[in-house]
Amino acid sequence: MSDTATAAKTTSTKTKAKPATTEMQRFLDALTANQSLMWEAMESARKRGIRVNNVLAATFAESQEDLTGLACTLALSPRDYKGNFTAAIESLTKSQSRAMNLFKALLSEQTQSRDVTRKIARELYDGSKEATTAAIEAGKVLSAANPLTESVSKAFAGFKKAATAAREAMA
């Protein structure tokens, strides 16, 4: 192949590749924004899970320490009824306090989760509307630029005309 033929072939290949349209870029930007929202939501949920697990683990550890302390108190002085009863009541009170703190933590995380979910759902909805609008516009631009669009439209019109004629002939 000559140098001029190679150069001509290279330039014709370069002109065939179309740059991304602004509509397509809008579509891709909307998808990227929605993806970022989803990652943020997952990260937020992960952090909430860690906070709940930390409170749960701390509550469990404190309860185990309290139970061990109560068992030692009861075992070391089994005949000290007043002291043992007082220790048992204190242990029960601490246990109820820890359960209430755990419930408050769970309620707080659930409330935050609901608020974050509502906010992210709204943002995803808006982003999806933007992505859909951009995709429709990009589709219109691409179909308008496609040289086969007109011939395919004419072919479908011909098919429709033939189907209508066949239907009328059978009736």
115-147 pLDDT, tens per residue?
Answer: 999 999 899 888 888 888 888 888 777 777 777
Using the structure block, give the residue that is written with the tokens 């002085």. Answer: 77
Distance (Å, whole) CA 140 – CA 151 = 16
Q: Are 156 and 36 in contact (CB under 8 A)?
A: no
Dig out the tokens for 140 from the structure.
């219109």
From residue 105, how far is each of 49, 56, 69, 151, 166 by CA, in Å? 11, 9, 26, 65, 72
Q: What pLDDT is recorded for position 21?
A: 66
Evaluate if residue 6 carries a pLDDT over 70. no
Q: Pick from 80, 57, 55: which is nearest to 70 by CA?
A: 80
Q: What pLDDT is recorded for position 18?
A: 52
Greatest CA separation for the chain: 110
Q: Are 106 and 26 in contact (CB under 8 A)?
A: no
Domain 20-146 of CATH type 1.10.287 = yes
From residue 150, how far is each of 143, 145, 146 by CA, in Å? 9, 10, 8
Evaluate if residue 88 carries a pLDDT over 90. yes
Evaluate if residue 8 carries a pLDDT over 80. no
Q: Pick from 123, 145, 139, 128: which is nearest to 23 by CA?
A: 139
Distance (Å, whole) CA 146 – CA 85 = 88
Q: What percent of the chain has pLDDT over 70?
A: 87
Dig out the tokens for 46 from the structure.
């992960």
Using the structure block, give the residue that is written with the tokens 């990009």. Answer: 138
Q: What pLDDT is recorded for position 52?
A: 92
Evaluate if residue 68 carries a pLDDT over 70. yes
Which runs of E-coded beta strand occur in 45-154?
none
Evaluate if residue 169 carries a pLDDT over 90. no
